[in-house]
Amino acid sequence: MRSIALMAAVLLSACAAAQPPVHGVTAGHRCQSGTGASFVGQSATSETGAAILRATHAAVLRWAPPGVMLTMDYRYDRVTVRTGPDGRITSVNCG
């Protein structure tokens, strides 16, 4: 009987220690939007996108060309880059 109670306690403690993943957060990444403003006016290229990810510390890059509808869900680890019809970046925002 003691061994069953001890085993149950061990199993329950293992469950309690596990943290479920939080939606919108990639471990070690939280977007910092203040650093993205320097990219406004630049061409929207894959190299610029990679530089934006590094500068903002985001894990996910979302391009938003003109006329594209975006979801309203907020993610701490995502940066959204809006572009104009000329292919230049018009804004860089977290979320």
Q: What is the CATH number of the domain that holds 86?
A: 3.30.10.10
Any domain includes 2: no
Any domain includes 34: yes
Question: pLDDT per residue over 15-34, tens digit each?
Answer: 544 444 555 567 778 898 78
Total domain count, the chain: 1
Tokens of 76: 């701490």
What is the pLDDT of the chain when averaged over all its residues?
Answer: 82
* Percent of the chain predicted with pLDDT > 70: 74
One-letter identity of residue 53: L
Radius of gyration for the alpha carbons in the chain, expressed in angstroms and rounded: 21
Residue range 49-59: mean pLDDT, rounded: 95
Domain range for 49: 24-94
Helix (H) or strand (E) holding 9: helix 2-17
The partner residues of 95 in beta bridges, in order of sequence, read none
